[in-house]
Chains A and B, each alone.
Chain A
Amino acid sequence: MELREYDLNMGPQHPSTHGVLRLKLAVDNEVVLGVEPVLGYLHRGMEKLWESLTYHQVVPLTDRLDYLASLSNNLGYCLTVEKLAGIEVPGRARYIRVVLAELQRLASHLAWVGFMANDIGAMSVLLYAFEAREDVLDIFEEYCGARLTLHGIRIGGAVRDLDAPLVARIRAVLGKVPDRLDDVRALLDENRIWKERTVGVGRLSGADAVAHGLTGPALRASGVPWDMRKDIPYSSYDDFDFEVPLGANGDVYDRYLVRLGEIGQSIRIVRQALDGLPDGEFAAKVPRVLKIAPGEAFHTIEAPKGVLGFTVRSNGTDKPERVKMRSPSFINLQALDAMCRGYMFSDVIGILGSLDIVLGEIDK
């Protein structure tokens, strides 16, 4: 029988594309010759919509970008607006933001481990990871009433103060998360099948990763030490002592280890931030109608998925003239083709999973 190269359409309703992503795969039997992501199924015209809303009204919409890490989007946008408007954020508010952002990173990475393992076929890990994530979401619920789209960070600070019972609760959850993580690691770390599916799969060298504009854990798994929290610190991140986990081979397994390492570092940062929580206001006084003189500002943060950047241009009114977003998932996805070529069809699912994409912020 003659085997021909044929196109396989994966998605937009495929169970493993994490939302409505469509991949056009060129395959020879099960060997992948090329991958072309087709985007836009979730396009909601976010950036255009923001132009008709006031600066404050944009914040809850940023929740809907990367919906697994809504606080990081809030933070990225608010920091940019504050930079543009010259708003000074109080020290306590900056610490609260760090606590929230790191808890969000924890939740996002835990969800990632679960989904990733489920894609590879280890379905129990999904439930163990989500058990831990539930605890973190419960904290969010107590903090601001929402679990997924939080809108917890506002321009000028945070929505609420961290009171003593909540701090105690966060500490309790931080003590529990490592136990759950140990369950996950016991099932995966030295599992032969897991390693066969991930070690050496989807390799990308550090130079290639930089050339593709890859950021976040996927970049650091390729051995490039680039973390906005360390390199261009924002929101008092330079006060804290933490490490940036690095991988060596740039394969799926390293991305897994890097993310698990980051969970540990996030716990460390949250503990330090809670210990050193300064007194003061939890938010700066920001006028209800915020009018910003004409200008433009760009600010980046280290979101769980990579470098998240916002460009905001103002025109003197209470509405932004233009908001442009550099979404990490969108740019990371461009490296998929380079990662998948020559690997098996089954690996595409693992590699796609290892990039940790969220369609909400790809299609915007």
Chain B
Amino acid sequence: MTPFVADVLIPVGKIVAVILYPMIMVVVMIWLERRVVALMQLRLGPNRVGFQGLAQPVADAVKLFFKEDIRPRQADRLLFNIAPVLVMFTSLLAFAFMPLGEPVRIGAYTLTLWIAESPVGLLIVLGLSSISVFGVIFGGWAANSKYPLMGALRSVVQVLSYEIPLGLTVLTVAFAARSMDLVEIVRRQESSGVWYGFLMPVSFVVFWISAVAETNRAPFDLPEAESELVAGYHTEYSGMKFAYFYMAEYAHMVLVSSLVVNLFFGGWLAPFPSVPALDFLEVVPGFVWYLVKIMFFLYLYVWIRATFPRYRFDSLIRLVWKWLIPLALLNFLVVALVRYLR
């Protein structure tokens, strides 16, 4: 392999792939969500555009692209324009650190299915994910309108609540793997033979609940509660800026699902590595296993949305501060003790 291919073409290709991959998943997710929720509710959902309505999200995006871009006169121009970009950008950037599959050998060259392997990858992903909340807050604040403002305020309250249990559970994973490197965390699950989700179920449950809150999804979709705040923080947005918020929400879901899979369910690893009869599962490429696993969690998101009513924000705070944080702390203590004694 020539140096040109290895040093230029492959990295560029990877960058393009990492931008395309979340966007494709977003399209699939929008379709899946609308269709699955519809079927759960005895409806049909979109089934006209393309095979089984698969092209519906594309049609929607094209429509939004041609919509007039409206900016309220009283809005803060800079923040109003930055907010959707910030939300989208942070969601996409985080994928650079997300291992999507095991390295592929092509002759002497090893193709890694991630762009960057950083010793603090986990921290960077969490940090980027938190920065995207600023997009929500800016968007709600800059519109200078009452309902978006309330959406933004709720978003602040939500961040102050769920980020703490999220951080505490992530720490337990870092303890178990003795690393903050996402690739290393998956490798440790391979070498120890047990996925951390089964080793530390409490961590997983707390992480998952916080992750649903992080992505502003039902039952924690308070910042955009449509029956209360019209559309919450993005009420005043139209056209592609609205589409950015909309797509970023789904990209964020894909990101968080990837994080859950990598931290707790062995990333690209095939299940049951210790059962010799199931060795044929290893033949399936790692990327496929990773996809299957994240699709499960993405489906879970949709399922939860179709089932539960929305929390009121004071009950969300109560849930997080009175239950999740003490639970996460206790869990943290137990994991730390076990880790110390072994």
Contact = CB atoms under 8 A, between A and B. Distances in A.
Are A and B associated in one complex? yes
Interface of A: 6, 8-9, 14-16, 29-30, 117-124, 126-128, 131, 187-188, 191, 193-194, 196-197, 344-347, 349
Contact of A196 (B37, B221, B306, B312): B312
Contacts of A15: 226-227, 230
A86 B43 CA distance: 50
Contacts of A6: 146
Contacts of A117: 309
Contacts of A126: 41
B315 to A, nearest CB: 5
Given A15-B227, A349-B227, A30 B150 contact: yes
B310 A193 contact: yes
A197 B228 CA distance: 13
B32 interface: no
A196 B228 contact: no
Given A29-B153, A193-B311, A349-B228, A124 B219 contact: no
A19 to B, nearest CB: 14
Nearest to B305: A123
B219 A121 contact: yes
Nearest first, the 10 closest Cβ-Cβ pairs linking A and B are A121-B310, A127-B41, A122-B309, A121-B309, A120-B309, A16-B227, A119-B227, A346-B312, A196-B315, A193-B309
A197 B312 contact: yes
19 contacts: A8-B146, A9-B146, A16-B227, A16-B228, A121-B218, A121-B219, A121-B309, A124-B37, A127-B43, A187-B307, A194-B309, A196-B315, A197-B310, A345-B150, A346-B225, A346-B228, A346-B310, A347-B312, A349-B227
B330 interface: no
B221 A128 contact: no
Contacts of A127: 41-43
A117 B230 CA distance: 16
Contact of A197 (B41, B218, B309): B309
B21 to A, nearest CB: 30
Interface of B: 37, 40-43, 146, 150, 153, 218-219, 221, 225-228, 230, 305-315
B42 A128 contact: yes
Nearest to A350: B312
B312 A14 contact: no
A344 B308 CA distance: 20
A117 B307 CA distance: 11
A244 B227 CA distance: 32
Which of B218, B227, B308 has its CB near the most chain A CB atoms (within 10 A)?
Answer: B227
A280 B41 CA distance: 44
Given A191-B308, A196-B312, A347-B312, A121 B42 contact: no
A30 B311 contact: no
A135 B209 CA distance: 38
B311 A196 contact: yes
Contacts of B310: 120-122, 193, 197, 346
Contacts of A345: 150, 228
Which of B37, B306, B310, B311 has its CB near the most chain A CB atoms (within 10 A)?
Answer: B310
Given A127-B42, A344-B313, A346-B313, 13 more contacts: A30-B313, A119-B227, A121-B308, A121-B309, A122-B308, A122-B309, A124-B307, A128-B42, A191-B308, A193-B308, A193-B310, A193-B315, A344-B314
Contacts of B42: 127-128, 131
Nearest to A348: B228
A131 B308 CA distance: 19
A196 B313 CA distance: 11
A35 B9 CA distance: 64
B225 A121 contact: yes
Contacts of A29: 153
B306 to A, nearest CB: 5
Contacts of A16: 227-228
B231 to A, nearest CB: 9
Which of A126, A131, A197, A346 has its CB near the most chain B CB atoms (within 10 A)?
Answer: A346
Nearest to A353: B227
A13 B325 CA distance: 39
Contacts of A120: 227, 309-310
Given A128-B41, A191-B309, A121 B227 contact: yes
A216 to B, nearest CB: 23
B41 A123 contact: yes
Which of A6, A15, A187 has its CB near the most chain B CB atoms (within 10 A)?
Answer: A15
Contacts of A122: 307-310
B215 to A, nearest CB: 16
Contact of A344 (B40, B218, B227, B312): B312
B310 to A, nearest CB: 3
A8 B231 CA distance: 15
Contacts of B309: 117, 120-122, 188, 191, 193-194, 197
